[in-house]
Structure 1
């Protein structure tokens, strides 16, 4: 594979970097529109230096002259456009179905010929932006990750050579712990698995709520039938695995890719106490095969048990 086909990470990310969006869970039948603004918690961005950027996580985002949903449009920004935060408006507001702040940002066009400033609502911004040949067609796609208004983790992939509005495919991921927490939503940490590691480029999304012992890893793929150029493909959930960290009950996993075989192996280790208080640990190995951007289970080994006093 040539260097042009290898996935490149545009943003240098620290392990602590994450994006979150939550709100207190409503009672059954309650009207979401009446949820108090202070019940929301979300990532807040600070003014950045000249070399520090955030990215537009939606396509065709309106950069506005004022911090208002009806403000005049300065320009329209594509998914993945880099912006620099100049100021965060102090008041949290509800715009559409989102609660967030307005941000005064600076945008420089890709040619570096024009510098524009304006306002973007916070839900359109993300620290996660990746560029690479996701579908192995020889062209570079752009992927971003944002939180949706219904508290899911949304991965979007854009085909730059397809005209809007039909040039983006998206897929949603449910954050871990939703069945046991008193809040909707959660946090996401995102990395890229390059094609040389997995057989195809994957967006890896890790979800591990602080208030819950559940955690998960989800891989998202993007494929185009026949690897045709200039055609919008489909973002897919390639694989989802989950674990538990609630001593003495622990369920962990390790994913190992076999790119030459177009597959992967998940080794899951479960640990719990029996009635006598002894630790019982079991290990299970499951093989998966890649087809059309999705890893499907092909073989699971029998569980191997080990008991410790």
Structure 2
């Protein structure tokens, strides 16, 4: 492969979608200015599906107003095409965002509606997400739907919908903390999400990676969804299965690598810590910790210890 072709391929790759929601930290009771909020802004792209509904029973409004007539109610994970973004940033409830004109799409990516009527309307930006995953998270043979959004209190929120359960009690949710907020004096942060399939981890997981650009802190959180006894038609519980934190702030570095053992439903974390001793020499240590899955949570089964250590001039 020629360097020119390689460069062309790199430049044409679509970057991984991400989501963020932040605002400056303020004293209790103080009001944050609207312009202080920073959040993901979506634009029309002409694709069959731009985004998904990140909440269940979302009201698609006829106009860009929280009091507008409801066109229809959309389920968690419903596919959407963005048609237009409202110009103003507004506060609706506890969220600051834009209104979006969207078109509801069916599973084939074509406009959907009732009686040949295509459902179009407006949704507030906090209900939209680029992250939708479908998998048998609880091992009952049925496919659940999971989405990732930012909550109004600046957490990363994972919702899992049990499709055979009727609303309104068919969704379980759990929150994870984004990285870097304390260092940057903001609430919130970014997230990139992906699905870890059951063949990799022993059960399907939602992986959340939070890596702020202006901060050395980063973390990875795994979210599980389990039902006691793997019963069908029963709402289970979304849980934080494991959270790992790292640091990249020279001369201090703390990195981790996760290896799953799917048959044993366990995992191993190898952490490498690099720093300087009192004399300024580089010192590196490696720790290996094993975890076992129990009731949707990875629990440490061997104490963390330095497997190896070396000192470099």
Give the TM-score normalised by structure 1.
0.92
**SS in structure 2 opposite 1:299?**
coil
Q: Does 1:84 align with 2:81?
A: yes
Q: Deviations over 1:58-113 (max 9, x none)?
A: 00000000000000000000000001000001000000000000000011345865
Q: Which runs of 5+ in 2 are unaligned?
A: 1-12
Q: Deviations over 1:246-303 (max 9, x none)?
A: 0110000000000111100000110101111110000010000011111000003531
Show the counterpart of 1:166: 169
The separation in 1 between residues aligned to 2:15 and 2:205, in whole angstroms, is: 18
Show the counterpart of 1:21: 21
**SS in structure 1 opposite 2:302?**
strand
Give, in angstroms, the shift of residue 16 of structure 1.
3.2
Q: Does 1:180 align with 2:183?
A: yes
Show the counterpart of 2:194: 191
The separation in 2 between residues aligned to 1:306 and 1:110, in whole angstroms, is: 55
The separation in 2 between residues aligned to 1:297 and 1:164, in whole angstroms, is: 36
The separation in 2 between residues aligned to 1:185 and 1:108, in whole angstroms, is: 31
Show the counterpart of 1:233: 236
**SS in structure 2 opposite 1:38?**
helix
Matches within 5 A, 1:5-44: 14-27=14-27, 29-31=28-30, 34-44=31-41
Matches within 5 A, 1:124-163: 124-163=127-166
Counterpart of 1:284 (choices 277, 284, 287) is 287
The separation in 1 between residues aligned to 2:32 and 2:264, in whole angstroms, is: 50
Q: Higher mean Cα deviation, 212-221 or 296-305?
A: 296-305
The separation in 2 between residues aligned to 1:167 and 1:14, in whole angstroms, is: 34
Give, in angstroms, the shift of residue 15 of structure 1.
4.8
Q: How many residues align?
A: 294
Distance 1:297 1:104, change over 3 A: same
The separation in 2 between residues aligned to 1:242 and 1:26, in whole angstroms, is: 25
The separation in 2 between residues aligned to 1:252 and 1:110, in whole angstroms, is: 40
**SS in structure 1 opposite 2:208?**
strand
Distance 1:15 1:255, change over 3 A: farther
The separation in 2 between residues aligned to 1:216 and 1:50, in whole angstroms, is: 31
The separation in 2 between residues aligned to 1:101 and 1:301, in whole angstroms, is: 46
Show the counterpart of 2:310: 306
Give the TM-score normalised by structure 2.
0.91
Is residue 265–residue 292 contact of structure 2 (8 Å, CA) maintained in 1? Answer: yes
Cα RMSD between the aligned structures?
1.4
Is residue 181–residue 212 contact of structure 1 (8 Å, CA) maintained in 2? Answer: yes
Is residue 49–residue 105 contact of structure 2 (8 Å, CA) maintained in 1? Answer: no
The separation in 1 between residues aligned to 2:75 and 2:165, in whole angstroms, is: 12
The separation in 1 between residues aligned to 2:202 and 2:90, in whole angstroms, is: 43
The separation in 1 between residues aligned to 2:199 and 2:16, in whole angstroms, is: 25
Distance 1:288 1:82, change over 3 A: same
Give, in angstroms, the shift of residue 143 of structure 1.
0.1
Q: Which runs of 5+ in 1 are unaligned?
A: 1-12
**SS in structure 2 opposite 1:250?**
strand
